[in-house]
A and B are shown apart, each in its own frame.
Chain A
């Protein structure tokens, strides 16, 4: 396991490579959630990466531009930029593994980036949409951005984000999560409310499998431990489905 920077000079992205234990069976790029959800979910994504590596996958965790350890600040990015970042991450994991077809796992907002990647990037084999954000307006409202507002910048907790990003998020719907070019898709939901609102519309395509596991929300802070809990069953299920 090792951390490193990759991508274009001056616009470097942080990545963390988990090499496979034993013979490689695949390559996976993990798309993290956004804003405060990223911070709380870091442990769960680390845990998932380790499980996948233990099952023979090359795994790359990475940070988008303006997030985590990657270049830039949070006031200058949008979903196009982050989709490009995913493209860089896929190139990197291909170079690390020699595997051309890459699997994607997107948690919360990261599922949206994975979905965009499946639409516009070549070489996506399978996708796991893990608790995708299916109502952009509601998500913004949870973060304190008023419905209908269109400020120059919006505050998502400690993150000041540009208006164009807010508008892109506002348009998120269940139908934003198509399989794209992927062969198979798993939509894994762990929260009761998402089970009823989004499930039917997400599962319309024959390539989509829908599963529901009642688990703690990886991206929400558990005040007893000051970070998100690791939803062990969900992590196990994703690792199992991908290997």
Chain B
């Protein structure tokens, strides 16, 4: 295994580390690129990304861990764009440098938490991305079945009833908190997030695009998100009829914590990743290079 530091991007503002298998491989079929989990720098929570990259490299997979602009050792790019736009520019720069150096031409993006969200969006814009690993994405789409399961699990839990009787849920306080903002005058700064319906339609369009392009998704849910994502086929049920079963692999790790701090969780994650990579990314001819436009505000994803 060999590790090298890359200072890349506009004015060398971005910093990342390539981890390669022992035997130098030119033009590996794919490289796995790790995005920051939240604002934790490229080593990952509890050094998770370092461990995964070295384990994957020991099994012949090239990996790249880098810091998005303004995180860890990377400077902001100064594009003046929105945060997401800067991040997408940085992901593109990372894939560019790996391709230009002959390290890989196709990529799997790994992201935990907000990193999973970034991986999803990046895959919409860059056709070199052929797979994404999403661990506990921040946006989970629910179904009637997931709501019913959640309610059922609450109903059969004696401790939940006890908490209700003892007033620990503080229902009235929560209700007041929900009602009060609607009664108060609007603040000077208003955020206008997309409505759930609009957001869901956009995600559905992206997923259809992934199915067409054959972008594979490894979707991992830990115990931290199990209340929101509580059965294996929830993602497919939330977006029925678009062929997600062809591209998605879902794993639920109910006993795991969000950042996978425990040894047994990390071993399991390594096993899942290795099996998924081996099943989905057998070596084949590399695609022709493509020119990827940096998405401007309101840009359309790749068709």
Contact = CB atoms under 8 A, between A and B. Distances in A.
Contacts of A74: 47
Contact of B73 (A5, A16, A36, A73): A16
B255 to A, nearest CB: 16
A206 interface: no
Contact of B45 (A14, A39, A160): A39
Interface centre among A3, A5, A39 (most CB of B within 10 A): A3
Contacts of A36: 46
Interface in A31-69: 36, 39, 42, 46, 67-69
Contacts of A184: none
Nearest to B49: A69
A57 B50 CA distance: 30
B143 interface: no
Interface in B1-39: 3-5, 7, 12, 15, 17, 38-39
A1 B75 CA distance: 10
B12 A2 contact: yes
A157 interface: yes
Contacts of B263: 160
B46 A42 contact: no
Given A2-B7, A158-B45, A69 B39 contact: no
A49 B51 CA distance: 27
A241 interface: no
Contacts of B5: 2-5, 14
Contacts of B39: 225-227
Contact of B47 (A1, A67, A226): A67
Contacts of B42: 69
Contacts of A157: 46, 261
B46 A159 contact: yes
Contacts of A226: 38-40
Contacts of B75: 1
A73 B51 contact: yes
Nearest to A2: B7
A227 to B, nearest CB: 5
Interface string A128-142: 000000000000000
A158 B3 contact: no
A195 to B, nearest CB: 30
Interface centre among A1, A67, A69 (most CB of B within 10 A): A69
Given A46-B72, A227-B39, 9 more contacts: A2-B12, A2-B15, A39-B46, A69-B3, A158-B45, A158-B47, A159-B46, A226-B39, A227-B40
13 contacts: A2-B15, A42-B41, A42-B72, A67-B47, A69-B42, A73-B51, A157-B46, A158-B46, A158-B259, A158-B261, A159-B47, A227-B39, A227-B40
Interface of A: 1-5, 12, 14, 16, 36, 39, 42, 46, 67-69, 73-74, 157-160, 225-227
